[in-house]
Amino acid sequence: MKIHANDGISQSGVDALSDFGFTITTTNVAQEQLINYINENDISGILVRSATTVRKELIDACPDLKLIGRGGVGMDNIDVAYAREKGLHVINTPAASSSSVAELVFAHLFGAVRFLYDSNRNMPLEGDTKFKALKKSYSGGTELRGKTLGIIGFGRIGQATAKIALGLGMDVAAYDPFMGEATVTVDFFNRQSIDINIKTCSFEEVLVQSDFVTLHVPAQDKPTMGAAEIAKMKKGAGLINAARGGVVDEQALVNALESKHLSFAAIDTFVNEPTPAIKLLMHPSISLTPHIGAATNEAQDRIGTELAEQIKNLLG
Ligand code: NAD
């Protein structure tokens, strides 16, 4: 049986699928050629990440397709309900990338409270001629310990983010309309662990209490953080979006940075990917990454082997 991974898959995933007896192809086929490719090559399963879409048209045109797999979490690029109605298996790997996204949030946070996003832009240009001036402008950083991290969306990634925050000695305030409380287990190297129960609070409480707010909600029809919500945040706070483009109103965010209501933002996911707004890319107070939350070797390995395992159970 043939499986085609159009947006790539880790070597560990390829190896596991081969061991289970599947033939796997990984050539990236252009979206408009994909229907032909699937039919001409008798593909039974198509695997995608976020780039390739699997819509109704493709599902209708490929009657022998049995499985659609998404390496990662959000399945907004797949017509999931329609595919399932047609009898296809639709699978993903919801937990595999949670800690990678959580660590990226902290990469941004640690960098932002010491102005690294700006220092890394200016040191190559002026580090040898204006060292003292740059030293002065990047003084006055802050520590994360003892600060409050506000987490909007307390699912897998929200809780993985809380775990790191708690380990650092931060306070956590979480909001999730569908989750009253959760027990977060903080693990240590020597196999000791501590369970900490966190009760969620209201959206408003999180906004007014937090020194930093990070979003971990699914894609939304309208921004979770618009001008009114940003206005409720503490003056000088920071906002992080490693969820989906559009969960933060990008113009409202830029306005809040310009007025100095917020001191920084960190963005991994943008409206209009892969051509994000220049006003965000050029903004001196934004720490930027190009949607790499799940892009660690460890997460990609887990995604590959978890997909292979599920495919073996469904089609093997
Ligand atoms: P999850 O389903 O485990 O958690 C999402 C949580 O958000 C749920 O508990 C849900 O109740 C809550 N929620 C829904 N609507 C809400 C709202 N309006 N306000 C507050 N909470 C709300 O999902 P997850 O695995 O934690 O992933 C969260 C999101 O992270 C994904 O949907 C995806 O968009 C994003 N993500 C980004 C990357 C990246 O590369 N940056 C990688 C993986 C996932």
Q: How far is CA 284 from CA 98, 168, 257, in A?
A: 28, 27, 9
Reported as a single tens digit per residue, the pLDDT across 62-102 is 999 999 999 988 899 999 999 999 999 999 999 999 999 99
Helix (H) or strand (E) holding 263: strand 262-267
235 CA to middle of ligand 1, Å? 26
Residue 49 is predicted with a pLDDT of 93
The one catalytic residue in 70, 244, 283, 302 is 244
Residue 50 is predicted with a pLDDT of 87
218 CA to middle of ligand 1, Å? 4
- Which residues are CB-contacts of 279 (< 8 A; sequence separation ≥ 6)? 250, 254
∠ CA 307-75-35, rounded to 5°:
80
For the Cβ of 294 lying below 6 angstroms from any atom of ligand 1, the answer is yes
What mean pLDDT comes out for the span 19-36?
A: 97
| Residue 133: Cβ within 10 Å count | 11
Residue 24 is predicted with a pLDDT of 97
- Protein residue with its CA nearest to atom 36 in ligand 1: 243
What mean pLDDT comes out for the span 249-277?
A: 97
Reported as a single tens digit per residue, the pLDDT across 178-235 is 999 999 999 999 999 999 999 999 999 999 999 999 999 999 999 999 999 999 999 9
Paired with 262 in beta bridges are 237
Residue 74 is predicted with a pLDDT of 83
Position in ligand 1 atom list of the atom nearest CA 50: 40
**How far is it, in rounded angstroms, from Cα 63 to Cα 303?**
26
| Model confidence at 55: pLDDT above 90 | yes
- Protein residue with its CA nearest to atom 38 in ligand 1: 293
Reported as a single tens digit per residue, the pLDDT across 94-148 is 999 999 999 999 999 999 999 999 999 999 999 999 999 999 999 999 999 999 9
**How far is it, in rounded angstroms, from Cα 101 to Cα 304?**
17
| Domains in the chain with CATH codes | 2-94+297-315 (3.40.50.720), 98-288 (3.40.50.720)
For the Cβ of 246 lying below 6 angstroms from any atom of ligand 1, the answer is no
> Is residue 244 flagged as an active site residue?
yes
| Model confidence at 21: pLDDT above 90 | yes
- Which residues are CB-contacts of 32 (< 8 A; sequence separation ≥ 6)? none
111 CA to middle of ligand 1, Å? 23
State the pLDDT confidence band at 254, using cuts at 50, 70 and 90. very high
**pTM, whole model, 2 decimals?**
0.91
Residue 197 is predicted with a pLDDT of 98
| Model confidence at 262: pLDDT above 90 | yes
Q: Across the chain, what does the average pLDDT equal?
A: 97
- Protein residue with its CA nearest to atom 8 in ligand 1: 155
Residue 175 is predicted with a pLDDT of 98
289 CA to middle of ligand 1, Å? 18
> Is residue 273 flagged as an active site residue?
yes
| Model confidence at 313: pLDDT above 90 | yes
Residue 316 is predicted with a pLDDT of 86
